[in-house]
Structure 1
Amino acid sequence: MPSATEVFTILQLVGAPSQPSSLADSVLLIIDAQREYVDGKLALPGIEASLAAGGRLLARARAAGTPVVHVLHRGAGPIFNPATPYHQPAETMLPLAGEAIVEKTQANAFAGTGLQSVLEATGRKNLIVIGYMTHNCVSSTVRAATERGFRSTVVAAASGTRALPDGQGGVLSAEVLHAASLIGLSDTQAVIVRDVAEIPD
């Protein structure tokens, strides 16, 4: 087993900037902060603390004049159904007038949506990403953003996921899956910070 000093990311290897993006030069991208993850069929562990952290970052972004984009998943079946309350944004993440809202139907928020045009209209290439779920929509969207020339910073405390079957009769915990998903993104896709306080103004 190599030591921590012998392990590095590809971003480190190529000399990519390691500092998180700031509110002054970024777009705050909020992915699927919806009630389905609060009190619906996909309620996530630790969601209240996560949304509280996201709410603090959202308040700072608004005070700084940072563009805010809300991505909402639209389902046609038992989850994220717009005919139910669970499609609605979580209380701490309600969009204000003038903030962009992008609806998606796939994990990647760029797929079949106008997200790229919305982001390009801001004139900013840095994204600060929070939301749900880390292993699915957050990861898919960050990877797609990299392919389109955006630089992402993901905030761990304001994101989350749920436990999944491990394929061997056991369960992979939400905490482990969340951490592993973020570590995977840190290799080639994004700067990862633990808490919203690490995002500069």
Structure 2
Amino acid sequence: MKQALLVIDVQAGLFDGERRPGDGAAVVQRINALADRARAAGVPVLYVQHEREGTPLASDSPGWALAAGLTPLPADARLRKTTPDCFLGTRLEPLLQEHDIRHLVICGYASEFCVDTTIRRAAALGYTVTLAADAHTTHDKDHASAEQIRAHENATLPNLTSFGPVIRAVPAAEITFG
């Protein structure tokens, strides 16, 4: 089954400011390692960038750019989105269909919003999903820390069986491509 690595919303306006997401620097390192392994196996790497006018993620603004430390290559695909769902109103699904990709390895930001929503949508569309369990993050919230939110997503998403396709949460170092 063909794979793709989907890197969601790892952007300067979310990672490079004074208030950083939990474990942010380590998450970026793990994403880079995943991307290197994916490319070595001939697996496409796709970067998705959220944009919202009037915010630090305004289209083509410094905050919209990919986060410092992330190492995309010119051959990696870039997609823009305006909702938590990487499929809604984007060219993601046609791109996956064009390359006959049926398995997504997903990482990035925000664990409880864009990562969660995209995983649920991917499974609903019939894609199997591997969540890089230690390569997604969010900011601390009033009700839970980033670490607690990540742990919740890692425990909850693999238990969603009603969609049909398998969702797994696996540490980034254990994910293989090809």
TM-score (norm 2): 0.89
The 2-side partners of 1:133 and 1:159 are apart by 7
In the TM superposition, what is the alpha-carbon distance from 1:183 to its structure 2 partner? 1.3
Q: Unpaired segments of 5 or more residues in structure 1?
A: 1-23, 167-171
Asked if 2 retains the 8 angstrom alpha-carbon contact of 1:67 and 1:99, the reply is yes
> Which structure has the larger Rg?
1
Distance 1:42 1:184, change over 3 A: farther
Deviations 1:47-98 (A, max 9, x none): 0011001111111111111011111101112231235311001234343223
Number of residue-to-residue matches in the alignment: 172
Per-residue Cα deviation, 1:81-138 (whole angstroms, up to 9, x for no partner):
2353110012343432232211000001111111110111111200001100110000
Identity, % of aligned positions: 31
Given that 1:41 and 1:79 are in contact with CA atoms closer than 8 Å, whether structure 2 keeps it comes out as no
More helix by share: 1
Amino acid at match of 2:87: F
**Cα distance change on mapping 1:151 and 1:42 into 2, 3 Å:** farther
Amino acid at match of 2:57: F
Matched, 1:198 2:174: yes
Contact 1:27/1:67 (8 A) holds in 2: yes
- Root mean square deviation of aligned Cα: 1.7
Name stretches of at least 5 consecutive residues in structure 2 with no aligned partner: 162-166
Q: Provide the secondary structure at the position in 1 that maps to 2:86.
A: coil
Name segments (4+ residues, structure 1) moved above 6 Å: none
Give TM-score, length-normalised by structure 1.
Answer: 0.80
In the alignment, which of 46, 54, 61 is matched to residue 23 of structure 2? 46
Deviates more, 1:65-74 or 1:32-41: 32-41
Match of 1:28 in 2: 5
